[in-house]
Amino acid sequence: MSAGSVTPRRRKRRAQPKGRQVDAAAHGAVLEALGEIPRHRDQLLQCLHSLNDRYGCLRAEHLVALADELRLSMTEVYEVATFYHHFQIVKEGDANPTSLTVRVCDSITCSMFGAENLVSSLEGRFGADVRIQRVSCVGRCEDAPVAVCGHKPLPKATVASVSRAVADRDVEPETLSPVDYAEYRHGGGYNLWAECVDGKRDRETIIQAMEDSSLRGLGGAGFPTGRKWRLVGKRPAPRVVAINLDEGEPGTFKDRYFLERDPHRFLEGTLIAAWAIDSDKIFIYIRDEYTACRRMLERELAALRADPPAPLPKIYLRRGAGAYIAGEESGMLESIEGKRAMPRLRPPYIAQNGLFGLATLEQNMETMHWVRDLLEKGADGFASQGRHGRKGVRSFSVSGRVNKPGIHIAPAGITVRELIDEYCGGMQAGHQLYGYFPGGASGGILPASKADVPLDFDTLQPYGCFIGSAAIIVFSQHDKARELARNAMRFFSHESCGQCTPCRVGTVKATELMTAEHWDKGLLGDLSRVMVDGSICGLGQAAPNTMDCIMKYFPEEVA
């Protein structure tokens, strides 16, 4: 060796691989919880549910073992587990979590009916093993205020009703008894779909009927249904269908209403759609708040698979985990793939490159509910039911200060004044119409002076609003429009996925500015424009609607 040379140091061999090590006991616990769930990347969310259901939380050592079992990095597992609200994560060394969680909705309608007082009265009332958690809309606005004890929803919740449920550990929802598979078949159900599969109907006639009916997507965007079927059907195979049952918009509960009563009607509509675009796979994504609906749907799908009237495509039921943004079409696809529900940049659009990179027909559950009726009764019959020059019918989720809140099926184009008087039994005693949300938290707010505007797609845009999923929240002179708008903005701040700065920062800043007695309209206007122009998806783009409407229609409240 020449002078001045340096002998290289030998690195010590590691006693064990770098990073967190899989604990044998934790790995055994994970295997027990997962059972026969396929060990695929897209099953990550379902695996997390299995662990959370079994152990009441997600422990750090279990997440390490799960990552090893699925051959994923710890980062991939942890970022998904921390994204969704319904997973309770416990770090290494921490004590066991509370054994019972009581979720209290504090969104718009529940806040109008005393959710804040309910939360204040419940906090600290129980022992350390009961957690009181504020949550966003749970899809039961007609029964406000609502609490959920474990999985059991408590309508018109009070301190007494929650206390009884906690004391009795009454945590499971009642079993639903809708029109079951046998009843549906007895009433002619699935005959239309079977005729399609058997070649007695042709695709072009079906798709043309959908186009002639003027049926539009009822999840919020309102894209013409028949045109969507035609566009996706022209894309290269294979193609896939994805059904959105994640209605998280505050004020919306129509999908739950139809699902609880007649689940096979939407399933038949979905099967017809899959046949029309020649797809052999259907994914149904249902929000986690609808535990009873999910269990019932699993039961009815099993009955359908056991005795199908025609060869079935593969149907997969996927469970959400508490994230409003998963209702956005591409966010839902990300969640189905086992990822964070973060909306995708467009183009490409999901009709071109959607679920697992395939051309995807994404539809709202209620849209599929109407397919059988529309095709059996004829497109003209469906389209002729509108009012004020509009076409079809709409399912309005009505909540707030009316005598008969709930789902009201009414002609498209009906006004809110007509809806309240003809379907909702008028305003509650002592309440006068002061204003309303025509499309949930994101659809804006209109004053009583605009109560004669037809409620439908395209009719509300001139007023800075939109109908979306037709969630009508009615408020009176006893409510503060500015506080309801701030509640909506707080909701968007909580539910933003954080992917883009205009939404992530804008919703937080807007919520802060809206607490001032006198609003800085210039600053809020600038912020609104940045959010609308710069946000990736509809959440950030629509979040300023209520704020803008307050400054335009209720200036006396913020002057």
Report d(CA 165, CA 361) in Å as an integer: 42
**Nearest to 396, CA basis, from 243, 252, 262, 223:** 252
Report residue 18's pLDDT band, with 50, 70 and 90 as the boundaries: low
Residue 21: predicted pLDDT: 87
Establish if 199 belongs to a structural domain: yes
What distance in Å separates the CA atoms of residue 21 and residue 89, rounded to the nearest whole number? 18
In this structure, the answer to whether residues 252 and 346 fall within a common structural domain is yes
Whether 57 and 130 share a structural domain: no
DSSP 446-484: EEGGGTTS--STTTSGGGT---TTTEEEEEETTS-HHHH
Amino acid at 525: G
Instruction: Name the one residue in this structure whose structure tokens are 């883009």.
Output: 500
Q: What is the pLDDT of residues 353-389, one digit of tens each?
A: 999 999 999 999 999 999 999 999 888 888 888 899 9
Torsion of CA 334, 337, 339, 344, to 10 degrees: -20
210/154 Cα distance (integer angstroms): 39
User: Are residues 163 and 193 located together in one domain of the fold?
Assistant: no
Out of 59, 90, 121, a domain closes at: 90
**205 and 280: one domain?**
yes
pLDDT digits (tens, 9 = 90+) for 457-488: 999 999 999 999 999 999 999 999 999 999 99
Is residue 496, in this structure, part of any structural domain at all? yes
Closest CA to 131 of 162, 102, 93: 102
Question: What is the model's pTM?
Answer: 0.94
Q: Is the dihedral of CA 542, 505, 79, 48 positive or negative?
A: negative
Indicate if 83 and 129 belong to the same structural domain: no
Same structural domain for residues 398 and 304?
A: no
- The enclosing domain of 406 has a CATH number of 3.10.20.600
Check whether residue 493 and residue 466 sit in a common domain. no
**Residues 546, 417: one domain?**
no
Q: Please report whether residue 19 resides in a domain.
A: no
Distances (CA, A) of 525 to 466, 506, 531: 19, 12, 10
- Is residue 211, in this structure, part of any structural domain at all? yes
Q: Which residue has the tokens 């799908």?
A: 301
Residue 219 structural domain: 181-377
Q: Are residues 359 and 240 in the same domain?
A: yes
Note the pLDDT of residue 11.
Answer: 61
pLDDT digits (tens, 9 = 90+) for 320-345: 999 999 999 999 999 999 999 999 99
Instruction: Answer left, alpha or beta for residue 428, where phi above 0 means left and psi between -120 and 50 means alpha.
Output: beta
Number of domain units in the chain: 5
Can you say whether the dihedral through the CA atoms of 262, 266, 269, 274 is positive or negative?
negative
| CA distance linking residue 247 with residue 338, whole number of Å | 19
pLDDT of residue 19: 62
Domain closes at, from 448, 476, 504:
476
**How many helices, marked H, and strands, marked E, lie in the chain?**
24, 15
pLDDT at 4: 52
Quick check: 162 pLDDT over 90? yes
- Compute the average pLDDT of residues 288-292: 97
Among 553, 385, 557, 363, CA closest to 465: 553
pLDDT of 1 reads 46
Q: How far apart are CA 524 and CA 557, in angstroms?
A: 15
Task: Give percent above pLDDT 90 in the chain.
Answer: 90
C-alpha 554/C-alpha 412 separation (Å) is 27
What lies within 8 Å, CB to CB, of 153 at 6+ separation is 138, 140, 143, 146, 147, 173
User: Domain check: are 272 and 398 in the same one?
Assistant: no
Q: What is the largest CA-CA distance in the chain?
A: 101
Residue 507, amino acid: T
What would the pLDDT profile of 305-325 be if each residue is shown by its tens digit? 999 999 999 999 999 999 999
Q: What is the CATH number of the domain that holds 72?
A: 1.10.10.1590
Query: Would you say residue 18 lies in a domain?
Result: no
pLDDT averaged over the chain?
A: 94
192 and 302 in a single domain? The answer is: yes
CATH code, domain carrying 151:
3.40.30.10
Domain end point (choices 70, 90, 110): 90
pLDDT 10s digits, 389-401: 998 899 999 999 9
Place of tokens 């002998």: 7
Say if 10 falls within a structural domain.
no
Distance CA 79, CA 91 (A): 14
Look at residue 17 and tell me if it is in a domain: no
Structure tokens at 48: 């997390």
Residue 175, in any domain of the structure: no
- pLDDT for 220 beyond 90: no
**52 shares a domain with 114:** no
